Amino acid sequence: MNICIYGSSLSAWVAATCLAKVGNEVVIDEVMGDSKQAITEVSVIRDEPGLLTEVLCQIKEGRLSRRQQHTKVTADVHWLALQPNEQQLAERVMDDLRLNGTGVLVVNQCNFNVGATEGLQSSLGVGGDVVYIPDNLQEGLALNGFMRPSRITLGIDKEAAVDKTKALLQPFSSDIDCLQLMSSREAEFTKFAITGMLALRIGYINELANLADLLQVDISIVQEGMGADPRIGNHYLSPGCGFGGQNFDAYVQKFSGILKKERQQSLLKTVIEENEVQKELLFRKLWQHYQGKLAGKVVALWGASFKPGTGSIDNAPSIKIIDALISQGVRVNVHDPEALGHLMTHYGQHPLINYAENHLTAAEGADAVLLVTEWPIYKSPDYKRLVALMRVALLIDGRNMFDKTQAKKSGFIYFGVGR
Q: Model confidence over 211-240: pLDDT tens digits?
A: 999 999 999 999 999 999 999 999 999 999
Q: Where are the alpha helices (DSSP H) in 134-280?
A: 142-147, 160-169, 184-215, 219-228, 246-263, 267-278
pLDDT confidence bin for 311, thresholds 50/70/90: very high
Pairing mode, strands 2-6 and 25-29: parallel
Closest CA relative to residue 88, chosen from 105, 114, 115, 112: 112
Distance CA 282, CA 322 (A): 11
Ranked by mean pLDDT, which of 42-51, 95-104, 144-153, 388-397 comes out on top? 388-397
Q: Domain boundary at 160, 182, 204, which?
A: 182
Q: Is residue 281's pLDDT more than 80? A: yes
160-171 tens-digit pLDDT: 999 999 999 999
Output the pTM of the full model.
0.89
Q: State the Cα–Cα distance between residues 31 and 28, nearest whole angstrom.
A: 9
Same domain, 144 and 227: no
Confidence at 419, pLDDT banded by 50, 70, 90: very high
pLDDT at residue number 175: 60
Task: Give, in degrees to the nearest 5, the angle at Cα 90 between 89 and 92.
Answer: 65
Report in angstroms the alpha-carbon separations of 226 from 58, 215, 419: 45, 18, 16
Q: Report the alpha-carbon distance of residue 109 to residue 83 in Å, rounded.
A: 10
Which of 243, 277, 311 is the C-terminal boundary of a domain?
277
Q: Minimal CA–CA distance to 51: which of 132, 126, 146, 123?
A: 146
The mean pLDDT value for 396-418 works out to 97
Which among 304, 251, 312, 244 is positioned nearest to 45, based on CA atoms?
312
* 2 has a pLDDT exceeding 90: yes
Of residues 99 and 108, more confidence is placed in 108
Q: Domain check: are 323 and 390 in the same one?
A: yes
pLDDT of residue 70: 66
Residue 17, pLDDT score: 98
CATH code (residue 285) = 3.40.50.720
- How many CB atoms are closer than 10 A to CB 396? 24
Residues 302 and 261 in one domain: no
Residue 138 has pLDDT above 80, yes or no: yes
Residues 136, 109: Cα–Cα separation, whole Å? 9
Distance CA 313, CA 193 (A): 25
- The pLDDT tens digits of the residues spanning 48-85 come to 999 999 999 999 999 999 987 767 888 999 999 999 88
Domain range for residue 389?
279-415
Most confident of 21-35, 97-111, 294-308: 294-308
Summarize the confidence of residues 178-184 as an average pLDDT: 91
Among the candidates 182, 199, 231, a domain finishes at 182
Whether residues 285 and 266 share a domain: the answer is no
pLDDT at 73: 81
pLDDT at residue 177 in the model: 63
The answer to whether residues 357 and 342 belong to one domain is yes
Query: Do 265 and 215 have their domain in common?
Result: yes
Domain of residue 264, CATH code: 1.10.1040.10
Report which DSSP code applies to 359: H
Can you give the pLDDT at residue 126? 86
Are residue 326 and residue 381 in the same domain, yes or no?
yes
Q: How far is CA 247 from CA 84, 111, 224, 311, 392, in A?
A: 9, 10, 29, 14, 38
Asked if 112 contacts 84 with a C-beta cutoff of 8 angstroms, the reply is yes
Percent of the residues in the chain that have a pLDDT greater than 90, as a whole number: 83
260 Cβ partners below 8 Å, 6+ apart?
266, 269
At 340 the pLDDT is 96
For residue 69, what pLDDT is reported? Answer: 72
**CB contact burial 239-258 (16+ within 10 A = b; e otherwise):** bbbbbbbbbbbbbbebbbeb
pLDDT at 101: 65
**Are 320 and 210 members of one domain?**
no
What are 320-355's pLDDT values in tens digits? 999 999 999 999 999 999 999 999 999 999 999 999
The answer to whether residues 241 and 399 touch, using CB atoms and an 8 Å cutoff, is yes
Which has the higher per-residue pLDDT, 177 or 180? 180
DSSP state of 67: P
Report the sign of the C-alpha dihedral through residues 298, 343, 307, 323, in that order: positive
Average pLDDT, whole number, for the chain?
93
How many domains does the chain fold into?
Answer: 3
Looking at the structure, tell me whether residues 35 and 176 fall in a common domain.
Answer: yes
Reply yes or no on whether the pLDDT at 129 is more than 70. Answer: yes
Confidence of residue 144 (pLDDT cuts 50, 70, 90): very high
Residue 49 CA to residue 72 CA, distance in Å, equals 32
Inform me whether the pLDDT recorded for 173 exceeds 90: no
Cα distance between residue 251 and residue 96, in whole Å: 27
Whether residues 410 and 304 fall in one domain: yes
Is residue 299 domain-shared with residue 222, that is, in the same domain? no
Averaged pLDDT for residues 363-387:
97
- Which pLDDT score, from 0 to 100, does residue 247 have? 85
Residue 179 has pLDDT above 70, yes or no: yes
Residues 96, 125: Cα–Cα separation, whole Å: 11
Q: What is the pLDDT of residue 143?
A: 96
Is there a single domain that holds both residue 265 and residue 301?
A: no
